[in-house]
């Protein structure tokens, strides 16, 4: 199967400043809603608007950083604005954006994106290209491209060795850009997904009524 033609890259949304991330993880998680994550490779550029996040803090028993620095979690303890990517259940990769001051182990998990560009390439990476090309199922497939952290990393085409890469540099392959922030009235908070400790903490945030937040988890 030959790769789809790279789509033209939109740049107008990239003009606004990115939110300050050297803050507590829960605040960074709210600020990152509406921001855009883009990954550029030889195959083309793909990007999506962040619509679902989770905060993980050093003081938080559910966080990889709660027992101090390990080889894997080094980026969490570095400065804000870098990728922390880990392998989940042996199969998937999950993308986080580091936050907080240097020395503090904190990051925000990117759980879902609203696809913006490079959708055909995303579909190919997700193994959904045949269905994508048949226009009848377009909307349904589009909704599945980046829902869930494992799917986000797969659609973006990330690799484990990109953990630690900066995301606030204009020349970087993986970049955080800013579109429309999600105002507080359109923002929902809930318990985080898939953890066995600190289950009552409301550190999952998502945009209300957004189709790209997985349906079963919209509340």
Partner DNA sequence: CAGATGATGTTCT
Partner DNA sequence: GAACATCATCTGC
Question: Least distance in Å: CB of 216 to DNA?
Answer: 5
Q: What is the DSSP letter of 169?
A: -
Which H/E stretch holds residue 131? helix 129-133
User: Cβ closer to DNA: 27 or 180?
Assistant: 27
> Judged by CB under 7 A, does residue 67 bind DNA?
yes
Q: What is the DSSP letter of 13?
A: G
User: Cβ closer to DNA: 14 or 198?
Assistant: 198
Question: Least distance in Å: CB of 170 to DNA?
Answer: 26
Contact range with DNA by CB under 7 A, out of 36-44, 70-78, 167-175, 176-184: 70-78
Give DSSP secondary structure letters for 47-102. Answer: EEEEEEEEEE-TT-TTSTTTT---TTTHHHHS-SSBEEEEEETTTEEEEEEE-SST
Total residues interacting with DNA, rule: CB under 7 A: 38
Contact range with DNA by CB under 7 A, out of 1-9, 35-43, 63-71, 182-190: 63-71
Strand partners, 114: 49
Separation of alpha carbons 26 and 37, rounded Å: 19
Residues 6+ apart with CB under 8 A from 2: none
User: Cβ closer to DNA: 6 or 87?
Assistant: 87
> Judged by CB under 7 A, does residue 159 bind DNA?
no
C-alpha 198: how far from chain center = 22
Contact residue for DNA among 28, 45, 65, 117 (CB under 7 A) = 65
Of residues 119-138, those binding DNA (CB under 7 A): 126
Tokens read off for 201: 């903490």
Burial zone of 206 (CB within 10 Å; 0-12 exposed, 13-18 middle, 19+ buried): buried
Contact residue for DNA among 195, 198, 210, 218 (CB under 7 A) = 195
User: Cβ closer to DNA: 170 or 219?
Assistant: 219
Contact residue for DNA among 107, 122, 201, 213 (CB under 7 A) = 107
Residues at the contact surface with DNA, assessed by CB under 7 A: 54, 56, 62-65, 67, 70-73, 76, 84, 87-92, 94, 96, 107, 109, 126, 144, 148-152, 192-197, 215-216
């Amino acid at each position: 199967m030959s790769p789809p033609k790279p789509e033209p890259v939109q740049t107008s949304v990239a003009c606004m400043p990115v939110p300050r991330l050297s803050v507590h993880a829960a605040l960074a998680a709210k600020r990152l809603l509406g921001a855009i994550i883009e990954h550029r490779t030889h195959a083309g550029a793909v990007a999506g608007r962040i619509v679902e996040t989770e905060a993980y803090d050093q003081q938080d028993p559910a966080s990889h950083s709660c027992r101090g620095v390990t080889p894997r979690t080094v980026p969490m303890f570095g400065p804000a604005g870098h990728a922390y990517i880990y392998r989940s259940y042996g199969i998937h990769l999950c993308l986080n954006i580091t936050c907080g001051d240097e020395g503090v182990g904190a990051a925000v998990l990117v759980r879902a994106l609203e696809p913006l560009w490079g959708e055909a390439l995303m579909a190919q990476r997700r193994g959904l290209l045949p269905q994508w090309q048949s226009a009848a199922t377009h909307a349904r497939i589009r909704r599945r491209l980046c829902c869930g952290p494992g799917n986000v990393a797969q659609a973006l085409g990330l690799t484990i060795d990109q953990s630690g890469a900066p995301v606030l540099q204009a020349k970087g392959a993986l970049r955080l850009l800013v579109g429309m922030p999600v105002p507080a009235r359109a923002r929902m908070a809930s318990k985080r997904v898939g953890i066995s400790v600190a289950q009552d903490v409301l550190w999952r945030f998502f945009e209300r009524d957004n189709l790209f937040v997985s349906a079963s988890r919209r509340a």
